[in-house]
Amino acid sequence: MSLQSAIFSLLLTAATTSAVTFFALPSRAEEAAPREIEVVVDRGYQPSTIVIQEGERVRLKFLRKDPSPCAREVVFPSLDLRRDLPVNEPVFLDLPALLPGEVAFHCGMKMLRGTIVVEARR
């Protein structure tokens, strides 16, 4: 289990045991509106590399144009996230605050691949 998924599970546990605890966690990043990043799915993810900042709130907007069944779902294994992507229908996915490093995502068959690069705050 990576540190990121460990922290994410911890937050998830906190949220289920006590919503108050979860929302009481102070964070400057949580106050800002999430940055929306569009990812077009058309024989690959465009862009396939997404650069964000440590702890940044990001909302991914997947827009699948590729009708092939290969592209029908997107998976973030280390975050335990999975979404179905209907054709020509935007699907929004809010990422948890991430630590520096890389988070891989791919289609259900691991043929289409993308990476979120999380840069450390300076």
Q: Could you tell me the smallest distance in angstroms from the CB atom of residue 44 to Cu ion?
A: 10
Should residue 69 be labelled a site residue for Cu ion when binding is judged by CB under 5 A?
no
Among 6, 87, 111, 117, binds Cu ion (CB under 5 A): 111
Distances (CA, A) of 74 to 23, 53, 105: 28, 22, 7
SS (H, E, C) 62-106: EEECCCCHHHCEEEEHHHCEEEECCECCCEEEECCCCCCEEEEEE
Among 109, 113, 120, 121, binds Cu ion (CB under 5 A): 109
Among 85, 107, 116, 118, binds Cu ion (CB under 5 A): 107
Positions in the binding site for Cu ion (CB under 5 A): 70, 107, 109, 111
